[in-house]
Amino acid sequence: MDLLQPNSPQPKHSFSPLIFTRKQLTHFSLFFFFLLILVTSFVIFIPSNLLSSIAFFSLILPKNQYNSTTTSTIDIDTLKACDLSNGEWVRDESYYGRFYTEECPFLDPGFRCRRNGRSDVDYLNWRWQPKECDLPRFNATDFLERSRNGRIVFAGDSIGRNQWESLLCMLAHGVSNLSTIFEEHGNPLTKHKGYLSIRFQDYNLTVEYYREPFLVVVGRLPKNAPEGVRGVVRVDKLHWLGSRWTNTDILVFNTGHWWNRDKTVKMGFYFQENESINMTMNITEAFQRSLTTWKSWVLQNLDPEKNHVFYRSYSPAHFRDGAWNDGGHCDRNTSPETDYTKLETESSNNLNNLYVSHVIKQIESKKRKAYFLNITYLTEFRKDGHPSKHREPGTPVGAPQDCSHWCLPGVPDTWNEVLYAHLLSRDFKVKLK
């Protein structure tokens, strides 16, 4: 399936001591000189972005070989002990195309950056290298086999959709007949409302997405609501669609981009607990209460033996010289940040990550498979991975840049590699009841 096979063994040259005559040496030098000219002109006359996708060059530039383990040789104990969140981005020309391309039919038009005019391609040539171990190589067939007869659910905001689409394409890469993968209710993937469920027919598997930016209920106004209140976020009630998340095998939650003043209080949305609106509850407090609600729901509704539950950490945005609605941009970034001190970590989001990781610690156990999918640090470097001005066709000229979502293929593929590694570390396999 893979076009590039970075794992295949390199041809080994064995050099034996040879004795050359002067004439032979001259011939050799001439030959090598000619070869050098040939290669150099090749390099000069081909745009550099093309070069990176030419396997020939990944062969003569064997640096950063992807020496990850194959599925059969994974050492679960090493993986379990390894901190996957910490490491570095390594340039790797063989990375692009490993999982899928923009041709994947499950991609939002807004995530297909090259089709939307992005001409630099270097953002595709980076892989995440954890400090303490190698990421297991993503094996779509293996993931699909482990998930046979199962359900995988993503619930959260549109960045969760970004990750969902990435996983759909990564898995679809392991299926030869794409017509066997379809939306269960015939819904189109764009302009969706509520939720979508993609069935992998040959594996009796669904991979679903629920759009719930707060995960809790966003509800109508109670009677006698104070003036200026247009809606409420019920921090004490998990979203009613939660009833569909119980009998699943892998659940990936996320929130983040809506828990701020712009998308709540400034829009007239206040927080409600029990029967009354609490006009003084701030965002931090409200987010914590919603997490407590989420935690109770997990403990009451999920089966610790069966459900693998993830909460993905915050996905940082990279607006520079202004906010998203204020001329902020990211289109000049063509490679990841290399200087850690230049990362603009938003403290409120780091605080939210801390709350999430605490809650996960409270519920995880030998029996209960709960994971904090900590991708914030690795994602902070990737200021080059956003659609920026290459938004979906039909976007008006002068519209704000998109420095929140991610081009696909792109950074969320790495989140899913990390997700897969976590699952392998617990030897995930669908358990039928």
Ligand X SMILES: *[C@@H]1O[C@H](CO)[C@@H](O)[C@H](O)[C@H]1NC(C)=O
Mask 363-402, x = binds ligand X (CB under 6 A)?
A: -----------x-xx-------------------------
List Cα–Cα distances, 137 to 67, 200, 416, 425, in angstroms.
9, 22, 11, 13
Q: Is residue 246 involved in binding ligand X (CB under 6 A)?
A: no
Is residue 145 within the footprint of ligand X (CB under 6 A)? yes
Nearest CB to ligand X, comparing residues 26 and 282 = 282
Pairing of strands 195-200, 205-211: antiparallel
Cis peptide before 409 (omega within 30 of 0): yes
Q: Is 341 in the site for ligand X (CB under 6 A)?
A: no
Helix (H), strand (E) counts: the chain? 10, 13
- Secondary structure of residue 190 in the 3-state scheme: coil
Is 180 among the residues that bind ligand X (CB under 6 A)?
A: yes
Q: Closer CB to ligand X, residue 130 or residue 409?
A: 130
Phi, psi of 58 (to 5 degrees): -70, -20
Q: What is the pairing mode between strands 308-312 and 205-211?
A: unpaired
Site track for ligand X across 31-70, x = CB under 6 A: ---------------------------------------x
Range 198-237, binding ligand X (CB under 6 A) = 204
Active-site option among 142, 405, 422, 425: 405
| Structure tokens that stand for 179 in this block | 């017509």
d(CA 288, CA 79): 31
Q: Does 254 bind ligand X (CB under 6 A)?
A: no
Q: Which is nearer to ligand X, 94 or 376 (CB)?
A: 376
414 binds ligand X (CB under 6 A): no
Please say if 425 is a catalytic residue: no
Catalytic residue among 92, 249, 402, 413: 402
Rounded Cα gap, residues 302 and 283, in angstroms: 27
402 catalytic? Reply is yes
Contacts of ligand X in 271-290 (CB under 6 A): 273-274, 278, 280-282, 284-285
Q: What is the C-alpha separation between 282 and 61, in angstroms, rounded?
A: 54
Quick check: 354 binds ligand X (CB under 6 A)? yes
Q: Catalytic site residues?
A: 158, 402, 405
